[in-house]
Amino acid sequence: MTQSIIYPYQPLIDHQAALRTCRQCPQMIPPVITCNPVLTPILMIGQAPGIREGDFQRPFAWTAGKTLFKWFAACGITEDPFRERVYMAAVCRCFPGKHPKGGDRVPNQEEIANCSRWLNAELDILQPELIILVGKLAINQYLPIKRLEEAVGLIHRKTLQGREVDLLPLPHPSGLSTWIHSDTGKTLLKAALQALCEHPTWQDMLQTL
């Protein structure tokens, strides 16, 4: 049975208060970015905040977010109600800094491992039924793939921390991505969004609008 959406949820408020004090990774640039502390069966996991997310103190607050929320609008929900009904996490919660050759630096394995304890705690608290994985870094934490074509467009059933959950991978909506503009990318993104629209947990969430 799909759990009710509860907002705000005190255990998540306490969890996020602790998370925002974390300074374990010296190369990461705070602040730690957190979302609304909503108890929900839908968890979204991104890669890491961009350079502008710190200004707005919320995930996907800049150009990539505009694209992402256009995708979700096609599935029946706009940005503000989405933020109130979906828990938005990430592989890493601080800005990794810029890469010397352009774009954002990819977090290293130590940074990912350091931040995984926060994500694992959220999995324990939320016990999600549906996890939306945004971007290859997020996808690779749960589905070891080499190419997006191996994952996007399908729902993957996986056991995480002793519970079965549906994983729905999406490409990253970055303006630097060429994959989402390719014929293959467009086709698989469309299939992924269709699968999301039809998922019963997503449908239950839409009933709360």
The model's pLDDT over 58-89, given as tens digits with 9 standing for 90+, comes to 999 999 999 999 999 999 999 999 999 999 99
**Domain interval for residue 200:** 10-206
125 burial level (CB within 10 Å; 0-12, 13-18, 19+): middle
Q: How many domains does the chain have?
A: 1
Within a domain: 1: no
| Domain contains 3 | no
Query: Does the residue 2 lie in any domain?
Result: no
Split at pLDDT 50, 70, 90, the class of 102 is: confident
pLDDT tens per residue, range 39-49? 999 999 999 99
Residue 159 belongs to a domain = yes
Predicted confidence at residue 148, as pLDDT, reads: 98
**pLDDT interval class at 1 (50, 70, 90):** very low
Q: Report the chain's mean pLDDT, rounded to a whole number.
A: 96
Higher pLDDT, 94 or 99: 94
- pLDDT over threshold 90, residue 101: no
pLDDT over 90 (residue 175): no
**Mean pLDDT of the region 146-151:** 97
0.85 cut: is pTM over it?
A: yes
pLDDT recorded at residue 169: 98
Q: Is residue 194 part of a domain?
A: yes
% of the chain exceeding 90 in pLDDT: 93
- HSE at residue 18, side-chain half, CA atoms within 13 A, is 11
Q: Give a yes or no: residue 138 inside a domain.
A: yes
Has residue 167 been placed in a domain?
yes
What is the CATH classification number for the domain harbouring 68? 3.40.470.10
Does any domain span residue 127? Answer: yes
